[in-house]
Amino acid sequence: MPSFAYQAKDASGKSVNGVIEAENERMLRAKLREMNYYVTGIAQKSGGVLQSDVGAIFGKLRGVNEQALVVFARQFATMINAGLAMVRCLDVLSVQTEDSQLKPVITSVRREVEGGSTLANALAKFPKVFSQLFTNMVRAGELGGILDDVLNRLATFLEKDFNLKKKVKSAMTYPAVILVMASLIVLFLVIFILPTFVQLFEGMQMKLPVPTKILIVFTNGARNPYVFIPAIVIMIVLYFVFNRYVSTQKGKRQYDAFKLKLPVFGQLIRKVAISRFCRTLGALLQSGVPIMQALEIVGKASGNEVVAETVNKVRESVREGESIAVPLQLSGMFPPLVTQMVSVGEETGNLDGMLTKIADFYDTEVEYMLASLTSLLEPMLIVVMGFIVGFIVISVFLPLYQIIGNIK
């Protein structure tokens, strides 16, 4: 019979722990309830080593697929609306989910809820899986008795956020693949094919044209370990230095501001940030989360320091009894359309609905922009690759024409 180490609290609230043999964890919990103990933690002993709650550890260390979270929230809402008990819902979801990372997390959440914890507090123990947005919306739903509605809103929010990210990644995938494949082909030519022509040209005492000289220098450098290896080392060092710099608050602020100023891509990043800001804030307000707490969550979840600074200014404005629209306008981050619609939403008392409309509008704008950007990148890549291939061809054939001329 396996042994279990447990942590619990007795009737007076004093913490107790010990080791008990039981057929399974369910039987152990029944025994502890008979002893008037409130269970706070259980771990199975195997070979003298504690097998801790794998779901808890796994959930804290890694995230899960966003699509799995959407399905989880939608199914949870359906079962709650049908009148099933919360523990029963979590039991069904832990069996039904196909995500191997989410399954143990749901099991651990069920144990916490069964032990007397609220659903929001149980979810909050897995910050790598359930964001602050998720847990705070669930907490508001529990307090307001509208958990099924809140879970449905969460599923809709996560679905739209996931689809937006997917569209951006899909639009960038094709140009990235073309660029990588073209770079590999050029690298193959430089390392394995062109050296034959370089040896031929260097062996013939003739004056080489400038493009050929440039190609020879580049080819010799790419094949020379005293040039190639230091270049790779320098690039790796620069990469780590850059990552270290942007991990600081100042560096991330400057990098985010730089991205917003990029031609074409800056506008795309700005529109994605506006859409996410409006949708997140709207979802939180619709679920009954207080405005100050909602703004704090939006600032942390924005992923952009420029947006986070703007949200902090908005919080200060709201704390002093002023409007949200004014600091948004002064930031320069949000266009007049957004600030005017937010102002109207505040005046009419329909701020959450107005924010959702803004987010939908900018989602459509992002779709159009991605389509245009993809159409623009394809010919640009063709022109760049045509220039590189043309340069190589010219560099190789100019000396051959000279050789043919000398033979004649």
Burial of 338 (0-12, 13-18, 19+ CB in 10 A): buried
Question: Is the domain of 79 the same as that of 32?
Answer: no
Question: Is the domain of 369 the same as that of 291?
Answer: yes
The type of residue at 139 is R
Six token digits for residue 401: 């024409």
Six token digits for residue 367: 């779709």
CATH number of the CATH domain containing 61: 1.20.81.30
Instruction: Please give the angle made by the CA atoms of 301, 269 and 388, to the nearest 5 degrees.
Output: 135
Q: How many domains does the chain have?
A: 3
Residue 141 placed within a domain: no
Residue 310 near residue 331 (C-beta atoms within 8 A): yes
pLDDT attached to residue 331: 77
Residue 148 placed within a domain: no
Q: Give the domain-ending residue among 114, 130, 146.
A: 130
Residue 139 placed within a domain: no
Model-level pTM? 0.63
Q: Give me the helix-helix angle, 66-81 and 147-188, nearest 10°.
A: 160
CATH number of the CATH domain containing 44: 3.10.20
pLDDT attached to residue 48: 43
Question: Is the domain of 312 the same as that of 221?
Answer: yes
Residue 140 placed within a domain: no
Distance of CA 101 to the CA centre of its chain: 17
Residue 138 placed within a domain: no
pLDDT attached to residue 53: 45
Question: Is the domain of 33 the same as that of 80?
Answer: no
Question: Is the domain of 308 the same as that of 405?
Answer: yes
Query: SS3 of 135, please?
Result: helix
Question: Is the domain of 408 the same as that of 314?
Answer: yes
pLDDT attached to residue 193: 76
Question: Is the domain of 343 the same as that of 305?
Answer: yes
| β partners of residue 45 | 3, 50
Residue 110 near residue 87 (C-beta atoms within 8 A): yes
Question: Is the domain of 164 the same as that of 211?
Answer: yes
Residue 152 placed within a domain: no
Question: Is the domain of 32 the same as that of 95?
Answer: no
| β partners of residue 5 | 19, 43
Question: Is the domain of 108 the same as that of 248?
Answer: no
Residue 8 near residue 40 (C-beta atoms within 8 A): yes
Continuous segment of H or E residues that includes residue 6: strand 3-9
How many Å apart are CA 222 and CA 193, to the nearest integer?
Answer: 12
Extract the residue ranges of the chain whose pLDDT is less than 70.
Answer: 1-2, 11-13, 38-63, 202, 204-205, 302, 406-408
How many Å apart are CA 313 and CA 326, to the nearest integer?
Answer: 10
Question: Is the domain of 67 the same as that of 180?
Answer: no
Residue 61 placed within a domain: yes
How many Å apart are CA 308 and CA 305, to the nearest integer?
Answer: 5
Which residues form the domain of 119?
57-130
What separation, in Å, do the N-terminal and C-terminal C-alpha atoms of the chain show?
A: 96
Question: Is the domain of 292 the same as that of 343?
Answer: yes
Residue 150 placed within a domain: no
How many Å apart are CA 279 and CA 146, to the nearest integer?
Answer: 20
